[in-house]
Every structure is written in structure tokens, then in C-alpha cells.
Structure 1
């Protein structure tokens, strides 16, 4: 069979490729589309090399060009697509992710329990000292005892320390998440330590306790949520490594890494908002009701985004 006859017998595949070029390439026929495109490229090379009729060569040039544009075209910016991704797909994916739920329950559950135990001095008089250490508690008292006098330099430097510390906790949870157990340990330990610190400083009569509560009120919702989200993203990576669902470990890790991206992006935004609040609102001489109102508003925004928008309605798209 000569080349001209061979190429002519491929017209049925050319017609199929042309039909696909004019429609929507779905995930089901994407592999077929790619195979037909490669075959048409080979046919064009043969037609050009063996100098087949110009009409055939021109037709194949146009067909290959259309298929190439269809397969490799860049996506145009679509505001509605981005809106759906940010306000529909992302919150639903985060809300339905079991790793995020486990991280949130562990962190906020242990944080609340530890804060209660540290606050209840009569029943657990040495709990806070045993968890955090006497030196650390004394340092906290000394730092907050002077009160919020509007000295931004002092409190911004102190805010920088807490931002670095708490952001470091989040990054550790994310980095160790691929090993699962270290991530859970770091998350639980810091939840207990932070809760003990909050509970101790909330006791009546503790030097600097009122100042501490006023300082942490505004940025607490963003910062604590960011730590829990970071751990959830890390656990998602770890689940991809150990629970492959029939895929290779590399393929499973890649797939779960893509699922972890919205979680980690949300955590990064929370850390940024916490840093802004901790640097400019928390140390300011604003009236405490205004700071409390900011905390309530922050908590409401978080609940609306992750719970109201995230609550499943017919499943993820």
C-alpha cells in the first residue's frame, strides 16, 4: 500500500478529529482527542514528505492547527470562574475534608479543655506551671503588666514574636503532616500549651492578665484558625502518602497535594489577617469593646465562609 492510499484511508479519523475540535473536549474523550491529534500530525508529515495533492496538505495543516489550538490554548480570565472557585468550590472542599475536621476538633477541643484546666486554679493549682513552665508564665506577666499605653514600638515587636511563633507552629504542622504522627503531636502539644497560657492569664489577680486578654482578643480567631487549617493541609498530604486508593504513591501524593492547596491558601490568608490585626489593632489604645467587636466580626466571617458557604449542596462540582 503506497503512502497516498494510506493517508486517504485516514480521512475517517480526520473527520472525527474535526468533530471534536468543534465541540467540548470532556475528560472522557480527552485521551481520544490527543491520539487523533498525534495521528494527524504524522499524516501531515507523510503528506508533506511525499508531496501529496496540495489540497490534502492544506487541509491537514488547518486541521492540525485547530487541534493544537484546542488542546493547548490558554484559558482566558473569567471573573465568574474565579468567583466560583473562591466562594463556592474552595469553602465546600475545605468544609468536607475529613483531615480539616480532625485537625479542627483536635486543636480547638484540646485548646478549650486546657484553658479550662489552667483557669480552674482551685481544682488544678499547678496545671499551667506543669504545662508551660514557671519561667514562661512569669515572662508573660512581666510583658503585659505595664498595660497597653499606646507604645506601638514595644507591642509591634512583641506582636512580631507571636506572629513568628504561631506561624512557625502552622508551618511545622504542615511540613510534618506528610508523616501524620509528628503533625498530630505538634498540633496537640501546642493546643494544650496555648490553652494553658490563655487559661492562666485569664485568672483573676494574675499580673497583666487583663492586658493579655485585651491584646489577644482581636487577632485570636484568625491566628488559631490558621494553625488548625495548616495542620489539616499537612494531614491531607500525609493521607495521600499512606492511603493511595489503588494509585502509585507519587500519583496519590500529587492528587492530595492539589486538594491541600485551597486549605493552605486559606491558612496563609488567615495568618496575614492575624498579622495585620496583631500589629495594628491588638496593641492599639482602642477601647476594648471595639477590639471585641472586631473579634466577633472576624469569627462571623470565618463561620460564614467555612460553614455557611462550605456546607455541601449537592456535593462538590
Structure 2
């Protein structure tokens, strides 16, 4: 049989594929039966082979053009492009992500660990007398943890009242803060890979260190300048550190509870689950860096900076608690 005759004999297959393409173009794939979809895939593969044969034997251009168009239509139905759907993204950002975060046990663990250690370390470093005149349980706690030289550097940095910065310098410092802040978050996240232990240690150390700095600055003359600087960007930055730690814990725990998967597959699965937490942390780090560069060192009144902190804290509560509060069926993070 000649090639032209062979291809002519397959015209019924092309017509069927054409009809199936029209059917798919006006229907959702989920509404079509499995046998219909299987037949469509088989006709698509066969028509691709027919097109290659037609081009090899240089059949009439109209036949080749028809097959090209048919294969193109079928390909678009078999491998559709993912269109950006604003409604789907809005629902995911305002419902899916906050509810998964609210119900994430690793986030609650990181939250309690970080803030518990932060407040304890801050109390020890402040060296406040206890009720009844009792001495603080640890003397020179901040000096032992951070070092006297570093503490002196903190005092020198805030020895002068904040008087604002040159806009060009603020823009440069924004880049530095982004790099520095994300570096802290990356350590907390990557540390979780060691079965979650590294993430716990990194979170504990960062909380203890930051708490000691805050506590030490409470008892030195430079405290007003220090707290005027950290107030505005603190809510976003500290929350981002907690989120980074939570993502690292989830990723590391996937090596312990593999769910029957191989270690590599479990890591991939854990990383996919941690992505909403990582993405939220990145956004907060970026926002914190911008506030730290442009608002925190400015000469704005402290009331304005405190107002920024209250607004940021309110947004965090709104996003994580009000939007994340379970409605009906709980969104599982697993």
C-alpha cells in the first residue's frame, strides 16, 4: 500500500480526534469518562506518527497543514497552559495559607519555643530584682552569652539620638537588612534538615541572643534610642524568624515521619508543605527590612513608630488568627 493510501485510510482516526478536540474544548476533562480520555490520547499519538510520515514523504501541503493544526489542537488539550487565575490566588492567599499556618503544629512549637526563650533571656539579662528583694538568678548573663565587647558596640551604636539618614544610605541599608535578616531565617530553616534538631538549636540560640540584647539595653542609658529604633520593624522581623524556624522543623521532621516514602521523596514532600511558611517569612523579612531602613532610623516621633508597630502587629493577628481560624472542616497541614 502506498503511503498516500495508508494515510487516507487513517482519515477516520483524524476525524475522530477532531471531534474529541471539539468535545474537550467545550467540556471539563473531569466530566469526560476515562475511556474517552484514553481514546483521545491514543488518537493523538497516532496522528503525531501520521504527521511525521506525511512530512517524510512530502505529501500535499494541505494534508500536512491539516495534520499540523490537528496535532496542535490536541496538544493544547492534552497539555493545557496554566492560566493565572486571580480569584484562585486570592482565595489561596487569604484563606488557604493562613488556615494551614494556624493549624500547623510546628509553627505553634516554634512560636512557644522562641518567645519563651526570648522572654526568659530578656528577664535574665535585665537583672531586675525579684519580689522580696531577691537577687536575679544569674549575674552577668548578657555578658556571658554575648560578650562585653559586643555589648559595648551595641551601646555605642545607640549613644546618639536618632536623627534620620540620607535617603541614598537608607536604600543601601535596606539591601543590607534584607540580606542580614534572610540570613538569620535561612539558618533557622536549613538547621531543621538535621532531623529538626538543628532548627531547634538555631531557634533557641537566636531567641536567647536577641532576648539578652533587649534585656541588657533595658538597664543602660542608651535604652531609649535602642527601643525607638527596634519598635517599628520588630513585629515583622521576629515573626519571620519564628516562621523560618517552623518551616525548618517541618522539613526536618519529614525525615523522621516519612509516611512510607523514601528519604528523598519525604524531603521533597516536606519541602512542598513548608513552602507557604517559607513564602510568608520571606515577605515579612522584606517588609521588616524596608521599615528598618526607612522608618526605624528616621527622626519621626516615637509615637509614629509605635503606631507602625501596632499596625504591623494588628495585621499579623488579622492574617494568622482571624483569617486562619478554622471554619467548618479543619484544613490539615499534613
Q: Which residue of 2 aligns with 1:104?
A: 111
Query: What do residues 187-217 of structure 1 show as CA deviations (whole Å, max 9, x unaligned)?
Result: 11110010010011122xx131110011100
Deviation at 1:79, TM superposition (A): 1.5
Task: Name the SS of the counterpart of 1:241 in structure 2.
Answer: coil
The answer to whether residue 236 in structure 2 is matched with residue 229 in structure 1 is: no
Counterparts of 2:125 and 2:75, CA distance in 1: 65
| Root-mean-square deviation over aligned CA pairs | 3.7
Query: What do residues 249-282 of structure 1 show as CA deviations (whole Å, max 9, x unaligned)?
Result: 3322222222222211111111111111111111
Aligned with 2:315 (options 293, 301, 313): 301
Contact 1:37/1:64 (<8 A) preserved: no
Q: Which residue of 2 aligns with 1:249?
A: 263
Contact 2:177/2:289 (<8 A) preserved: no
Closer, same or farther: CA 83–38 of 1 in aligned 2, 3 Å: same
Deviation at 1:66, TM superposition (A): 5.6
Counterparts of 1:178 and 1:121, CA distance in 2: 38
- Gap runs ≥5 in structure 1: 51-58
Q: Which residue of 2 aligns with 1:188?
A: 204
The answer to whether residue 58 in structure 2 is matched with residue 41 in structure 1 is: no
Counterparts of 1:45 and 1:142, CA distance in 2: 74
Deviation at 1:82, TM superposition (A): 1.4
Q: Which residue of 1 aligns with 2:187?
A: 172
TM-score, normalised by the number of residues in structure 1: 0.80
- Gap runs ≥5 in structure 2: 1-5, 55-65, 130-135
Residue pairs, 1:104-253, within 5 angstroms: 104-122=111-129, 123=136, 124-152=138-166, 156=170, 164-179=179-194, 180-203=196-219, 206-253=220-267
Contact 1:217/1:292 (<8 A) preserved: yes
Counterparts of 1:30 and 1:71, CA distance in 2: 15
The 10-residue stretch of structure 1 (295-304 or 261-270) with the greater mean CA deviation from structure 2: 261-270
Q: How many residue pairs get matched?
A: 304
Closer, same or farther: CA 295–39 of 1 in aligned 2, 3 Å: same
Counterparts of 1:107 and 1:223, CA distance in 2: 13
Closer, same or farther: CA 200–45 of 1 in aligned 2, 3 Å: closer
Q: Which residue of 1 aligns with 2:326?
A: 312
Contact 1:103/1:228 (<8 A) preserved: yes
Q: Which residue of 2 aligns with 1:25?
A: 29
